[in-house]
């Protein structure tokens, strides 16, 4: 493994966390790194909600079996698309690029958490309309925010080996 790419290969989906807190300063740095992501026409149509409240995290986890990690991780970030920042006007055909922008910030957040030796897990919300609705209601989000992804972050309660998922048959050279 090339040492320059070690961070990328070390990023793994972590589903078990210790109960140790994550400092607010670290969470802020992770969010700042997330917002260094590329964005279509520099619209930055993302919004981040920091969820530390244990009851809210537990309720999020109960709303979908896939999200049970929400209750265990000390911090959950919600990345939402901010419709007030979606591309419009003459560029309305590009308005759906917000999903790519939100995916980019989510990936940056995952990598930043790995850089701090924290575990993280991407849990999809959008485009599942039931998840969008329940997440919006639980967190009392305004209508202009579209919940995109939840990201559990915490000190790892499990270790996973760095690895690539390279599949030669998925690459075409021309």
Domain boundaries, the chain: 10-157
pTM: 0.93
Q: What sign does the CA torsion over 118, 123, 124, 129 have? A: negative
Residue 94 has pLDDT above 70, yes or no: no
The token duo for 29 is 């740095």
Q: How far apart are CA 164 and CA 60, in angstroms?
A: 31
CATH code reported for the domain at 10-157 = 3.40.109.10
Q: How far apart are CA 24 and CA 9, in angstroms?
A: 26
The token duo for 58 is 């537990």
Q: What is the DSSP letter of 19?
A: S
The pLDDT score that the predictor gives to residue 71 is 86
The pLDDT score that the predictor gives to residue 24 is 98
Residue 17 has pLDDT above 90, yes or no: yes
Contact at 8 Å (CB) between 135 and 70?
Answer: no
The pLDDT score that the predictor gives to residue 117 is 97
Q: What is the DSSP letter of 61?
A: H
């Amino acid at each position: 493994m090339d040492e320059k790419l070690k961070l990328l290969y070390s990023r793994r989906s972590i589903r078990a966390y210790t109960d140790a807190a994550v400092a607010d300063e670290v969470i802020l740095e992770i969010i700042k790194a997330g917002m260094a992501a590329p964005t279509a026409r520099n619209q930055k149509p993302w919004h981040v909600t920091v969820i530390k409240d244990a009851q809210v995290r537990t309720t999020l986890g109960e709303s979908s079996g896939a999200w049970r990690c929400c209750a265990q991780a000390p911090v959950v970030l919600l990345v939402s698309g901010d419709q007030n920042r979606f591309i419009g006007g003459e560029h309305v055909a590009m308005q759906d690029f917000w999903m790519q922008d939100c995916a980019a910030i989510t990936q940056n957040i995952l990598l930043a958490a790995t850089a701090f030796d924290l575990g993280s897990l991407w849990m999809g919300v959008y485009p599942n309309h039931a998840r969008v609705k329940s997440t919006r209601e639980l967190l009392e989000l305004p209508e202009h925010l579209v919940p995109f992804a939840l990201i559990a972050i915490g000190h790892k309660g499990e270790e996973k080996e760095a690895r690539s998922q390279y599949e030669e048959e998925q690459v075409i050279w021309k």
